[in-house]
Amino acid sequence: MNDAGYTIPTPIQEKAIPPILNGQDVLGIAQTGTGKTAAYVLPMIMKLKYAQGNDIRGLIVAPTRELAMQIEENVKVYSKYTDLRSFVLYGGLGPKTQIETLKKGLDILITTPGRFMDLYLEGHIATKKLEVLVLDEADKMMDMGFMPQINKILEVVPRKRQNMLFSATMSERIEKLAENFLLWPTKVEVTPQATPASTVEQVLFHVPNFKTKINLLKLFVEDDPEVKKLIIFCRSRANAENVYKFLLRRFNETHVKVLHANKGQNTRINSINAFKNDEVRILVATDVAARGIDVSDVTHVINFDVPVIYEDYVHRIGRTGRAYNLGKAVTFCNEAELHYIHKIEKLIRQQISVQNIPEKVFIEETPYEEKQAIAKQIDDQKRKDDPEFKGAFHEKKTQTQRNKFKAARSKAGGVKMSAAKKKKYK
């Protein structure tokens, strides 16, 4: 393990490896950055020992292609002095090359759920020799709607096998899956559920609008000498693109890359590799990348937008403070996002330290459209908590406003509206 840079085992490795080696099913709860990939891959390698036959004997299922690729890299490193054959399967690429590799024979397969089932149903994957099955980041797979595929995978693998389920968070859904999936499992929990790593300092800024967020971001990327390697997380692809374009104007492509689902597979791989290899110091990403980046020297994570899925906050900030290094997680929060902050604080069972926006950051006036969008979000949140709530945007009021607008427009024009205009404002 010296080749992988390991000197001492992490808590999850200390607690998980012995029962796995004993052949027990394991339910592992640990936040990202604690070494849980090694906790299940190392004993899997020790159990499989050497290449044998053509059919897979170890199967690792992950929610995203980025995470699957990261796991496969780790498997290659850990199995360096064995002849075990491993390969990663994911969608977004034509299956021809993947099918050819499967035909040559494999010992360990790392895969996303959808592509696995596609190739299994076409007869390219045989599971009868399977000995070890791992579901990694099971909570994320549930959030992404992969449960039908997961259930199908559990139906097509041998009943006699060793199972492992790993996750950074634990919910009722995960507990139910564990009951169906694991047989008398050993539960390994190195920290309270959904607790961020103690090596991560968390701070929160109340920021009124998008432009002010950009101004505050500028302070971190240009004026803070401690920000040496940074991931900026955005909720949507559009926001990620806007932030990326802003940073491109300040710097260039030698400093910043962007990663989201609209980017092609090769672009996404190149962006991650450039960031890992220190070719760029800033990566702008959506949550598609939150669990697929294993870089130990990320100094800062900035949540440009607060995640709507509360568990994603833990995974985002888990990109820093890894492998015993210290890190800092900074969150920008507007009035509508405060609702999600309260939920996140409840989840992680701690309050995030609030800091004032520095005086040198110019606070922009919130544009009318953004102000309306924020107000509508707040209304939607209140309505979700209280179905009887009637806010500024409920349907009846909106229709009344439309009728008033049409009447005023008709009166101002001195004539009745044309059919085309009526259709436009209907």
> What one-character-per-residue DSSP string does 103-137 give?
HH--SEEEE-HHHHHHHHHTT----TT--EEEEES
User: Could you tell me if 140 and 291 are in contact, meaning their C-beta atoms sit under 8 angstroms apart?
Assistant: yes
Say yes or no: 9 and 70 in one domain.
yes
Say yes or no: 156 and 212 in one domain.
no
Question: What is the rounded CA–CA span in Å between residue 386 and residue 63?
Answer: 33
User: Could you tell me if 5 and 322 are in contact, meaning their C-beta atoms sit under 8 angstroms apart?
Assistant: no
Question: Count of domains in the chain?
Answer: 2
Question: What is the rounded CA–CA span in Å between residue 278 and residue 295?
Answer: 10
Task: Give the CATH number for residue 204.
Answer: 3.40.50.300
Say yes or no: 254 and 122 in one domain.
no
Q: What are phi and psi of 245, to 5 degrees?
A: -65, -35
pTM above 0.85, yes or no: no
Q: Point out which residues pair with 302 in neighbouring strands.
A: 232, 330
Q: What angle do CA 96, 98, 103 make, to 5 degrees?
A: 95
Q: Point out which residues pair with 15 in neighbouring strands.
A: none
Say yes or no: 229 and 185 in one domain.
no
Q: Which amino acid is at 413?
A: G
How much is the pLDDT for 422?
47
How much is the pLDDT for 159?
87
Say yes or no: 10 and 29 in one domain.
yes
Q: Point out which residues pair with 27 in neighbouring strands.
A: 165, 187
Question: What is the rounded CA–CA span in Å between residue 273 and residue 50?
Answer: 30
In a domain, 375, yes or no: no
Say yes or no: 10 and 87 in one domain.
yes
| Number of residues assigned to the chain | 426
User: Could you tell me if 328 and 203 are in contact, meaning their C-beta atoms sit under 8 angstroms apart?
Assistant: yes
Q: Point out which residues pair with 422 in neighbouring strands.
A: none
- Domain containing 49 equals 2-189
In a domain, 88, yes or no: yes
pLDDT mean values, one per 10 residues, the chain (426 residues): 63 92 91 81 95 95 89 92 94 89 96 94 95 91 86 90 86 83 88 70 96 96 91 92 91 83 74 87 81 77 92 84 84 95 90 95 95 92 77 56 66 53 46
Question: What is the rounded CA–CA span in Å between residue 291 and residue 386?
Answer: 34
Among 325, 350, 370, the domain boundary falls at: 370
In a domain, 29, yes or no: yes
Say yes or no: 276 and 328 in one domain.
yes
How much is the pLDDT for 33?
66
How many CA within 13 A on the CB side of residue 4? 19
How much is the pLDDT for 269?
79
**b/e sequence 77-97, b meaning 16+ C-beta within 10 Å:** ebbeeeebbbbbbbeeeeeee
Question: What is the rounded CA–CA span in Å between residue 150 and residue 342?
Answer: 32
Contacts of 341 (CB under 8 A, 6+ apart): 204, 306, 331, 333, 352
